[in-house]
Each structure stands twice: as structure tokens, then as C-alpha cells.
């Protein structure tokens, strides 16, 4: 969640650190800070709020250091405040940290017995004090290793040391950390996106690795303190796609480009000439798969839920879905004939990576569906399927969710075709229908004017309910999540058939209820559930592709989406729900791209 940047150069680094921190703002944060070494001393500056506030402080009190570390913090230990903001510095050491030190309280007590005093409420400050203490008695590498061995939990660290005034130290365990190579300067960052404006030559640290950066070289040490060489990757240049352009915010841009990103993704996976899906080198032969387990968190979990419905329709094998944070703590019965699929936009989601790591330790076959092919989850999976959505900056996922569903759907079609569970005719039909999806999404996006009118009805609501059956149920869950994330309204998604089993008690006069009712096998039953809502005073917003007028009586708003194959309709149902969440939040003047308390890349448990 927090963002780290470190730079060692032959010129002042403050400006580049600030610009890199702005690139990391998408991760979510409540404070920011920077530390450099100036005239042989650590110069620390930090503040609450946005990086812009830190930039103003540096304008008033410049720092001319040739090396430095910066941080945007998302609070875990200690309230958002200037004292709790990173870096945390002693006279000798300054540290920025992403992760959680689980034994920080005990370490703090031990260090206080030695006479050390702590200024903050954070877990991170124990790292600063520990390293300061070890440096009194040991050399640099020994002090770092002894410090890291004392820490329980996860961390990505950037460290400055006063008496080593030409180096920045990086270390990781659990949380991601990247190293970048530049001309006469080198970089440390939480992810490659923060470094891309300066370099496209990147190396990723593995768990237990330590790196020592100067402006002319980088040295790596593994968990056994052995010097190692690391592979340097050259990243593609997609910086232009991470700009807002003429849009007010990133989320608006990302919603409105979904027809483009789906078209790109389909082109990557569908061979137009052979009318085939290009998926090869499966980690396990599809014919031999005993069960598929789909694992994710938040929005990614909802894409897994959607895929469960699709897969069960197309295949005869059992399909399970799991929330990653629950998966890793249960007594899982692993089976080498199962395929474990991990879904994550960033590819760095801590719980999802931990679940993947557990699978790897049990020698089962893994597949990842990610937006960042150089991410930790991608690099540790047996098989990687990128969603090709381009950078997604808005914290509330939109185009990445559609991309995850799309790749899962493509995966399902291909596996069922290989297993001969759908006919060749049906396989070709699904491919041809898939090609129509970008245009259908583009057409659906034209509902924005009506959505803006509908959004006004939500300004005084105390809660919202989303109801759907079958393929529409996972979309109802995602619609509720989007509204919660952006507008801070209490919102719940339910299977419409569950209304009488509790949720009906919540229906009262004026409560907005979104009914997802495409013309499918559940249509009549869903409309019956809608009538139950209307009878109790609920304010119904009906989203459907059914064109008969008889169903619109007593419905507050009816929003029509284009007709499409029932397997593709969930994509189209998703669009108005994204727009609804966006416009409700916009009317409330909330920060669209950075909702409170949330982070784009959840890299701590």
C-alpha cells in the first residue's frame, strides 16, 4: 500500500523523488516524506496529506542531497500524523518501509531497556533504532542482516546511513521492491511504474534479498548473504497511457476506454485467421484437470465469482472460488490434478501472493491473471495470462475488472474446447460473439447522461441494495462494492432469490434498489422479486436488455443495455454500475481516484 522511492545520483535528487512519489499516489496514502544526506547529515522532511504539501515544504526549505529516499504512507500502526509519517530517522539512520512488523511491540520494549526512546507510534521506527544499535558494533552488511533477522512480518525497505553517504540500501520480505538502472544514477521503488519516468531497465528483488545502490553500481545479496547477479528486464514504454488527457480524473478515462482495452485483449488472445484462441503451454493438460480453484481479493474475487458461473456452464469439472485471505489459513486439501488460478490487478496483492506461495510450496499447478506481467504473482506462477488493460490508476478498479472477466472467459472457452465439452460450432460461435464485445461496450457507454440523472436519487440515501440472479449476481456484488468504495454509501449485493431470507427487512420507503434483470432464464423470477421491492416502497432502478414496456410500471428508472449473448451480458451490466458509483461520488465532491482509507495495491495483510 505504501510507496517507496530511493535514488542515488551525481546530482540533486529531490525533484525526481517528488515526481516519483506523485506516480505512487495511486497506491493510496495519508502522509508523505523524504530524507536526503546533506553536508554529511540526514535531512528529513515530512508532512500529512498530499505530496503537494511536501513539495511546498521543500520549495521553502530546499534539500540538495545527491541521494535520498521518499515515501507515501498508508497508516497501519499509528494515526496519520507528521510524527508517524515516513521516513523514520535517528542521527545515523533513516528508513522508509512498506509492510507490517508483527513483533514491533516486543522489539520496542527490548530497545527501550537499552535506553532508546521512540518518537512515533509506528512499527517502522523499531527498524531505524535496531539498525542504529547494530551499526555501533558491526559492519554495514552484518548490521543489516542482523536487523532483518530480528523482524517478523513483511517489509520492503529503503535505508539511508549517515556514515555511508554514497549508498542507498534496499531489502524485501513479502512486500515488492524493484531496482532501476540509469546513467550515473540508480533507483529503488515499490513498483516499476514509479521508476518508468527515469528508466525502463528494471530488476526485482526476491524474498530475503538485500541491494546496495551507488550512482555507478548495484550489488545484490540473497538471504544467505551471498552475492548474486540479477536478471535485468527491459519494460515496454506505455507512459502515455498513464496520463489523464482531457478527462477530469483517471477513473473517468479508464471507464470510457474499456471498449479499447477489451479490443486490445481480444486481439492478443484470438487468432483472427484461424478462428482460434491462442492459449498454449498450460501447466497441466486441460483434459487432466480434476478441479479449478479461482482465488482473488475484492474486485478480483468478483471476477472469479463470475468465472465460476461461466466455467460451470461450459465444463463438467468442479469449480471453486476462494478469498485469498481465507484460503491461506484453511486446511486446504491440495491436489496435483487441480489448477489454482490467482487473479490480481497489480500482481502484488499480499494475500493473493501468500496464497500462491502456499500452492507453490505444495507443488501444485498455478496460473495467474494479472495486469502487470513483471509483478511478483506473475513471476512466481507456472502460467501467466495478462489482461492487457494498460496502467489503471484509479483505486476503484474498472477496466481491470472487465479485463479479468474477459481473460477468465477466454480461458474457460479454450479449456472447454480442449476438453471437447463444447462443440466446434459452439466454440466458433463464442469467438465470433466475443469480437462484438468492444462495440457493445462502446454502445453501452452512451448511457452516461441518464446515469447522471439517476445518480441524484442517491445523494440522500442511507443505503443501497443490488439484486441479481445467475450471471447477474456477481455483477450485483461488484456494483455494490464500487458504490461503497467511491460514495461511502452502505451498499450490499444479494442474489434476488434470497430476498425473503433476511434482506427484505431492509426495504423501506425510498430505499434505492438496483435490479439487474437481463432477458435470461431467471428474468421472470427476478421481476417477481422486483415487485416485492416495489410493494414495500423501494425505489427501483431496473437495468435490463428487455424491451417490453409492461415491466416498467412503478419502476423509478429503467436503463436499457444492448442485446447480447447471455455470456457477454455481464460485461454490459457492469458499465452502468461503474458509472453510477462514479457520478454519485462526483455529485458528493469526493476524491474519485483516491477514495478514503483505500489503496490501489494492497501489499499488506
Least confident piece of the model among 31-35, 156-160, 451-455, 495-499: 495-499
In whole angstroms, give the CA distance from residue 91 to residue 208: 27
| CATH code at position 261 | 3.40.50.10490
Q: Does the pLDDT of residue 143 top 80, yes or no?
A: yes
The answer to whether position 158 is within a domain reads yes
Residue 190 maps to a domain: yes
Q: Phi and psi (nearest 5°) for 171?
A: -155, 150
Same domain, 479 and 584: yes
Give the domain range for residue 303: 239-435
List active site positions. 2, 600
Check whether residue 201 and residue 222 sit in a common domain. yes
Instruction: Report the DSSP beta bridge partners of residue 36.
Output: 43, 68
270 and 393 share a domain? yes
Distance between CA atoms of 227 and 222, rounded to whole angstroms?
A: 7
Task: Say if residue 280 is in the same domain as residue 341.
Answer: yes
Residue 11 lies in a domain: yes
Give the global pTM. Answer: 0.78
pLDDT of 374 higher than 90:
no
Quote the CA–CA distance of 440 and 429 in Å, as a whole number: 16
Domain boundary among 435, 466, 500: 435
Q: Residue 106: which CATH number?
A: 3.60.20.10
Secondary structure of 39-107 in the HEC alphabet?
CCEEEEEEEECCHHHHHHHHHHCCCCCCEEEEEEECCCCCCCCCCCCCCEECCCEEEEEEEEECCHHHH
* Beta-strand pair 491-495/464-468: parallel
In total, how many domains does the chain have?
3
Whether residues 176 and 188 fall in one domain: yes
Residue 223 and residue 120 share a domain:
yes
Contact 491, 463 (CB under 8 A): yes
Asked whether residue 232 falls in the same domain as residue 341, the answer is no
Are residue 400 and residue 546 in the same domain, yes or no?
no
pLDDT in tens, 276-317: 998 888 999 999 999 999 999 999 999 999 999 999 999 999
pLDDT of residue 154: 84
Examine residue 441 and state whether it is found in any structural domain, yes or no: no
pLDDT for the residue numbered 236 = 67
pLDDT-derived band at 600, boundaries 50, 70, 90: low
Residue whose C-alpha cell is 484461424: 274
> What single-letter DSSP state applies at residue 591?
-
Identify whether 75 is preceded by a cis peptide bond (ω within 30 of 0): no
Q: How far is CA 468 from the centre of its chain?
A: 26
For 246-377, list the strands marked E by DSSP. Answer: 270-271, 276-277, 291-296, 319-323, 338-344, 365-370
**Domain C-terminal end among 386, 402, 435:** 435
594 or 451, greater pLDDT: 451
What SS3 state is found at 549? Answer: helix
Section 194-208 average pLDDT = 86
| Other CB atoms within 10 Å distance of the CB of residue 455 | 20
CA dist 477 and 39 (Å) reads 56
**Are residue 418 and residue 498 in the same domain, yes or no?**
no
8 A C-beta contact, residue 430 and residue 413: yes
Residues 6+ apart with CB under 8 A from 423: none
Is 179 within the bounds of a domain?
Answer: yes
Please tell me the predicted confidence (pLDDT) of residue 77.
81
Report the 10 Å Cβ neighbour count for 319: 19
φ, ψ of residue 411 to 5 degrees: the values are -60, -45
Residue 407 shares a structural domain with residue 555: no
Distances (CA, A) of 185 to 10, 12, 62: 7, 11, 20
Distance CA 71, CA 29 (A): 9
Lowest mean pLDDT among 327-331, 500-504, 520-524: 500-504
In a domain, 72, yes or no: yes
pLDDT, position 596: 84
Q: Final residue of a domain: which of 408, 435, 462?
A: 435
For the chain, the average pLDDT equals 91
Above 70 in pLDDT, residue 135?
Answer: yes
| 18 and 161 housed in the same domain | yes
pLDDT tens digits, one per residue of 45-59: 999 998 999 999 999
Helix (H) or strand (E) holding 497, with range, is: none
Q: What is the distance between the alpha carbons of residues 124 and 107, in angstroms, rounded to a whole number?
A: 11
Do 93 and 220 share a structural domain? yes
Q: What is the pLDDT of residues 397-413, one digit of tens each?
A: 999 999 999 999 999 99
Lowest-pLDDT choice from 8-12, 121-125, 274-278? 274-278
Q: Is 440 inside any structural domain?
A: no
Amino acid at each position: 500500500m505504501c510507496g517507496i522511492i530511493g535514488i542515488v545520483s551525481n546530482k540533486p535528487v529531490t525533484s525526481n523523488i517528488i515526481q516519483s512519489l506523485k506516480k505512487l499516489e495511486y497506491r493510496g496514502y495519508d502522509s508523505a516524506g523524504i530524507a536526503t544526506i546533506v553536508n554529511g547529515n540526514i535531512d528529513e522532511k515530512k508532512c500529512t496529506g498530499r505530496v503537494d504539501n511536501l513539495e511546498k515544504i521543500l520549495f521553502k526549505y530546499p534539500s540538495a542531497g545527491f541521494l535520498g529516499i521518499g515515501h507515501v504512507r498508508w497508516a497501519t500502526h499509528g494515526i496519520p500524523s507528521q510524527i508517524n509519517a515516513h521516513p523514520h530517522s535517528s542521527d545515523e539512520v533513516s528508513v522508509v518501509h512498506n509492510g507490517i512488523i508483527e513483533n514491533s511491540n516486543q522489539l520496542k520494549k527490548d530497545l527501550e531497556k537499552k535506553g532508546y526512546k521512540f518518537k512515533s507510534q509506528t512499527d517502522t521506527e523499531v527498524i531505524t533504532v535496531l539498525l542504529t544499535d547494530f551499526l555501533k558494533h558491526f559492519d554495514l552488511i552484518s548490521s543489516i542482516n542482523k536487523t532483518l533477522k530480528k523482524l517478523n512480518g513483511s517489509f520492503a525497505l529503503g535505508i539511508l546511513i549517515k556514515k555511508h553517504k554514497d549508498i542507498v540500501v534496499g531489502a524485501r520480505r513479502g512486500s515488492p521492491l524493484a531496482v532501476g538502472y540509469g546513467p550515473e544514477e540508480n533507483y529503488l521503488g515499490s513498483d516499476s511504474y514509479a521508476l518508468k519516468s527515469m528508466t525502463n531497465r528494471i530488476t526485482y528483488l526476491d524474498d530475503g534479498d538485500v541491494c546496495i545502490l551507488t550512482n555507478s553500481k548495484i550489488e545484490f545479496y540473497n538471504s544467505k548473504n551471498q552475492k548474486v547477479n540479477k536478471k535485468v528486464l527491459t519494460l515496454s514504454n506505455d507512459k502515455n497511457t498513464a496520463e489523464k488527457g482531457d478527462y477530469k480524473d483517471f477513473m473517468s478515462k479508464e471507464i470510457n476506454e474499456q471498449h479499447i482495452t477489451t479490443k486490445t485483449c481480444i486481439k492478443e488472445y484470438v487468432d483472427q485467421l484461424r478462428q482460434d484462441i491462442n492459449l498454449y503451454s498450460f501447466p497441466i493438460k486441460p483434459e487432466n484437470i480434476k478441479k479449478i480453484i479461482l482465488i482473488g481479493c475484492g474486485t478480483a474475487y468478483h471476477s472469479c465469482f463470475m468465472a465460476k458461473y461461466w466455467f460451470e456452464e461450459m465444463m463438467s469439472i468442479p469449480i471453486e472460488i476462494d478469498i485469498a485471505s481465507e484460503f491461506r489459513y484453511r486446511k486446504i486439501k491440495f491436489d496435483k490434478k487441480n489448477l489454482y488460478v490467482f487473479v490480481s490487478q497489480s500482481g502484488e496483492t499480499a494475500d493473493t501472493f501468500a496464497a500462491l506461495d502456499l500452492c507453490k510450496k505444495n507443488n501444485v499447478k498455478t496460473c495467474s491473471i494479472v495486469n502487470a506481467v513483471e509483478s511478483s504473482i506473475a513471476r512466481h506462477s507456472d502460467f501467466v495470462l495478462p489482461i492487457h488493460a494498460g496502467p489503471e490508476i484509479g483505486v476503484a478498479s474498472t477496466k481491470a475488472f472487465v479485463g479479468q472477466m474477459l481473460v477468465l472467459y477466454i480461458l474457460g472457452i479454450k479449456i472447454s474446447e480442449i476438453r471437447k465439452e463444447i462443440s466446434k460450432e459452439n466454440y466458433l460461435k463464442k469467438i465470433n460473439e466475443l469480437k462484438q464485445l468492444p462495440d457493445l461496450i462502446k454502445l453501452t457507454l452512451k448511457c452516461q447522461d441518464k446515469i447522471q440523472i439517476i445518480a441524484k436519487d442517491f445523494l440522500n440515501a442511507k443505503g443501497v441494495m443490488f439484486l441479481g440472479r445467475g450471471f447477474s449476481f456477481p455483477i450485483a456484488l461488484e456494483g455494490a462494492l464500487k458504490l461503497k468504495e467511491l460514495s461511502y454509501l452502505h451498499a450490499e449485493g444479494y442474489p434476488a432469490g434470497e430476498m425473503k431470507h433476511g434482506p427484505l427487512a431492509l426495504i423501506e420507503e425510498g430505499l434505492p434498489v438496483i435490479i439487474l434483470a437481463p432477458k435470461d432464464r431467471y428474468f421472470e423470477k427476478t421481476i417477481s422479486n422486483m415487485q416485492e421491492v416495489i410493494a414495500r416502497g423501494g425505489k427501483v432502478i431496473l437495468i435490463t436488455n428487455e424491451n417490453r414496456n409492461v415491466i416498467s410500471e412503478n419502476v423509478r428508472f429503467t436503463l436499457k443495455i444492448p442485446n447480447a449473448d447471455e455470456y457477454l451480458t455481464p460485461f454490459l451490466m457492469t458499465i452502468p454500475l461503474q458509472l453510477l458509483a462514479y457520478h454519485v461520488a462526483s455529485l458528493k465532491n469526493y476524491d474519485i481516484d483516491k477514495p478514503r482509507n483505500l489503496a490501489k495495491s494492497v501489499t499488506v495483510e
